[in-house]
A and B are shown apart, each in its own frame.
Chain A
Amino acid sequence: AQRVTQPEKLLSVFKGAPVELKCNYSYSGSPELFWYVQYSRQRLQLLLRHISRESIKGFTADLNKGETSFHLKKPFAQEEDSAMYYCALSGLGQGAQKLVFGQGTRLTINP
């Protein structure tokens, strides 16, 4: 079964502190993992994909196949990072097709 688990519904950190949003997955095959973000009153948008191995807005995420995890990290949180974050997966090669989403983590950065 395909499943994405984000164990924290809410996460609150202070500005300048490190942030880690957890994501674990189960998938019988080779997955492609994504992080999507939704800022207040904006649409859901792609933050990063594991295939791209890039850093967006200071965020990085490494796919750990042994632990079936794809945690999102940022060394120094900024107030504008406050948003809803969703981890998602699809089959490798399927790109953005048929995404399976986690329940989301609401990140709040306190000043």
Chain B
Amino acid sequence: ETGVTQSPTHLIKTRGQQVTLRCSSQSGHNTVSWYQQALGQGPQFIFQYYREEENGRGNFPPRFSGLQFPNYSSELNVNALELDDSALYLCASSLRVGGAFFGQGTRLTVV
């Protein structure tokens, strides 16, 4: 059984650019959620995918978008990056019920 893996671990982007973050879910998990964790804060829910469909969204603008693939892996895309988008982005996979299993995160810095 493999855990949740995210790539890349770190990246630096310029304001206005676009970024894609990737997540491979834990084996057998069909639900993937993305969270943004700013420094000193708890994770904030961005959105969730269940069987390739968006299944709930937090208070984030449309320039945050995502995808889930048939193998349940997922992408988070952010367009028109702003300085405030600098944060740790966490992916979590789960079944419909039960605890979520988190990846190690991607640290995004926007300059």
A interface residues, Cβ below 8 angstroms from B: 4, 6, 34, 36, 43-46, 49, 86, 88, 93-104
Contact = CB atoms under 8 A, between A and B. Distances in A.
A63 to B, nearest CB: 16
Contact of B45 (A34, A93, A98, A104): A98
Contacts of B100: 46, 96, 99
A79 B35 CA distance: 29
Interface of B: 4, 31, 33, 35, 40-45, 48, 55-56, 58, 90, 92, 94-105
Interface of A is mostly: loop
Pick the most buried of A4, A97, A98, A102: most chain B CB atoms within 10 A of its CB: A97
B44 A43 contact: no
Contact of A34 (B48, B56, B58, B99): B99
A99 B41 contact: no
